[in-house]
A and B are shown apart, each in its own frame.
Chain A
Amino acid sequence: MPTVIVDGKEIEIGADERLNCIEAARRGGAEIPHYCWHPGLTVVASCRMCLIETGSRDAATGKVTMVPKLVPACQTPAKDGTVIVTESQLVKESRARVEEALLIDHPIDCPICDKAGECLLQDYHFEHGQPERRADLHPFTSRKREMGSTVTLFVDRCVMCTRCVRFTREISGSAELMVINRGAKEEIDVFPGFPLENKLSGNVVDLCPVGALGDKDFLYQQRVWFLKAEDNVCGGCATGCSIRTEHNQDTVYRLKPRENPHVNKWWMCDDGRYGWHHLHDPSRLVEARRAAGGRARREGGADDTIEWSDVGRRLRDDLGAAGRLAVAVSPMLTTEEAWMLCAVARSIDPQAFLAVGHVPIDGADETYPGGFTIRAEKCPNRLGVEGVIAVFGGVDAAGRVPGWNALLDHVRAGEADAAWITAAYPGGWIDEETAEAFASLSCLVVQDLFESPLSRMAVWKLPAAGFAERAGTWVNAAHRAQVFQQAIRPPAGVWPEGRLYWSMLGRRGLYDAEAVRRQIADSSPTFAALAGDVPATGIDLRIQQLA
């Protein structure tokens, strides 16, 4: 095993690992400051912040030979016998000089800069900068330029790390950003007429170590220290990117990608990043409503608001009285919620027809040069829901789990008297014509975020939860199951699906996704991998089946 000596400590690294000195030092507990280096991008070694002293130890004699100059840690591979010194006087002075140079033409407008609080320039200056300034610095207002529809560049705040330029060249492959001018007059810019317009553009804001690139969607909205972050999974498509939902007082302010080498690496797409606004749409359904006298809503009759504590009991009565039940289990639900919904449905009607709800498809999968894929399937949990329905024996003769079209045929053929349609899609998903298939049912239950042609004819109109308001597990298109917690509370006391089904199953206390997950894992080999603790990066459900 190759051994690296980090500040006198011997650290063993893997034989075929290709680490640079920053990564090797991190293993040894030493954090080397850096601006331009990012694990997902190529190395340019231009910021000079990661300069360290290095050398090599002779394997035979044990004699250490040091390199006479400082070298950039990001560009120096760590191999057997590499000696890394991160805290010598020379290194410390070099860092202080770099910080000093960066601040000479930095606006220091931290109070009005949106990056303040999560800015590497601030952090490194605090940690590695010198307390006194030798230059006469005056705060000034940074020049501002539009890069595209999502990103604004604050020109003078930039430290020219070129992470954003490399991102558009290597990951999004669109190469809109470039460096103009030379030397001290270097600036980031786009070519006139070719703005930063690609579906991964928001990532350059995450990559920016300082406040130069601002996200227009978040600009001036909130100071970052007010935000609380919850590990979440994006519900925008079947990729299921690991994200952090950053919120304050039950209001989401932004979504950020969370590093996950198996799913999204460090990135997420703009569709997902800005796809949370529907959570705070004032037109969301927030009350459990039941048409007075059964089918009155279709004839334009009144409906009543039902107390949440009564919803479960009355829903069960109505569906039980109606007869044969068909259930659409939405691919927006978590696996736990889907499992409980199926259990509830089967307890009302043991022969209930279970099908996967509408799966929205938009165009084709888009894969970017960096390997990032935006899936055409705009729902996060089709595989999880299919797995759950299979556990309940809801497969057809060919062994397939029925989908939305199968459910429509089933209802049109008059084989159901009641239907329970879960939806929770962020936008419109059903037209009048399709909804007409459900017109003849004696009891229709629709659980959705927004009013739709279907909900207008339903006897029961129940609100659903948005993606950040759920807890549970989603299985993405690559069979990776990711577990997440609820980030914010739904509006106006809405019961998320999990809580409603939990109470309908007669279980006590608060909805506990973990208890349901363990139960699912015990009941089916498909989900057996979920039995233990699931790591933050998720777990591949197929590992159990391969074994």
Chain B
Amino acid sequence: MKPSDPSITWIDEKPLGLAERLYLPLFIQGLTTTARHLVSPKVTVSYPEQRPKVGNPLIYRGVHRLNRDEEGRVKCVACFLCATACPAHCIDIVATESPWPDREKYPESFQIDELRCIFCGMCEEACPVDAIELTSLLDLTGKSREEMIFDKEKLLSVYDMTKDAEPMKSDSLGGTL
């Protein structure tokens, strides 16, 4: 579009009034804002010495975990729906026949590339058995890329670590099982 385009309406800047030309009223107005923030309560925290407070862990989207059922087995049934829903293609599952009579198949391996993940929570929404959940763990660090590919054991250990602080969401949200 050129500046001469007829669909553009050109407006002139408003001329300065007396207060603007005097400069001082606006100067005081700006300083007042600064002073108000000096005394108001702080919204930032000094991470990592200080931990940020997670508002509602039920809707927070942090590190994934793989839930266990009552018998301590992985709850996942290897249906690939999380991998299908994942827009970042970061979930890699190898399914196999399950060793348990009440279950058809289970994940032989379950990997999430946490570096590739965009923490959108689609996997959690897609899961028909509430096996994959996002916790409120937010400090996700590692020394190598390999370390950041979480396998089944690691994801289950995240569950073991967080299950007391954050019980399975399905109970409080009216889950499927």
Contact = CB atoms under 8 A, between A and B. Distances in A.
Given A220-B95, A220-B97, A109 B84 contact: no
B174 to A, nearest CB: 16
Q: Is the interface of B mostly helix, strand, loop or mixed?
A: loop
Q: How large is the interface on B (under 10, 10 to 19, 20 to 34, 35 or more residues)?
A: 10 to 19
Interface stretch (B7-15, B101-109, B138-146, B163-171): B101-109
A506 interface: no
A220 B109 CA distance: 13
Given A220-B78, A220-B96, A141 B104 contact: yes
Contacts of B96: 220
A369 B52 CA distance: 74
A112 interface: yes
Candidate in B77, B80, B102, B129 with the most chain A CB atoms within 10 angstroms: B80
A223 B80 contact: yes
Nearest to B93: A223
A400 B34 CA distance: 99
A109 B80 contact: no
A227 to B, nearest CB: 12
A111 interface: yes
A141 B102 contact: yes
B62 interface: no
Interface in B59-84: 77-81, 84
Interface in A71-94: none
A78 B132 CA distance: 53
B84 A112 contact: no
A226 B78 CA distance: 14
Candidate in A111, A112, A221, A225 with the most chain B CB atoms within 10 angstroms: A112
B57 interface: no
A141 B98 CA distance: 12
Candidate in B79, B81, B97, B104 with the most chain A CB atoms within 10 angstroms: B104
A221 B80 CA distance: 11
Nearest to A221: B95
Interface in B80-136: 80-81, 84, 95-97, 102-105, 128-129
A381 B153 CA distance: 50
Interface string A209-225: 00000000001110101
Nearest to A116: B79
A142 B105 CA distance: 12
A220 B102 contact: no
A111 B79 contact: yes
Contact of A111 (B77, B97, B103): B77
Contacts of A225: 84
Contact of B81 (A111, A144, A220): A111
Contact of B128 (A111, A141, A223): A111
Nearest to B128: A111
Given A111-B81, A144-B104, 15 more contacts: A109-B104, A111-B77, A111-B128, A111-B129, A112-B77, A112-B79, A112-B105, A141-B103, A142-B104, A220-B78, A220-B96, A220-B97, A221-B95, A223-B79, A226-B80
28 contacts: A109-B104, A111-B77, A111-B79, A111-B81, A111-B128, A111-B129, A112-B77, A112-B78, A112-B79, A112-B104, A112-B105, A141-B102, A141-B103, A141-B104, A142-B104, A144-B104, A219-B97, A220-B78, A220-B96, A220-B97, A220-B105, A221-B95, A223-B79, A223-B80, A223-B84, A225-B84, A226-B80, A226-B84
Query: What 7 pairs across the A-B complex have the smallest Cβ distances?
Result: A111-B79, A220-B95, A111-B128, A223-B80, A112-B104, A112-B77, A220-B105
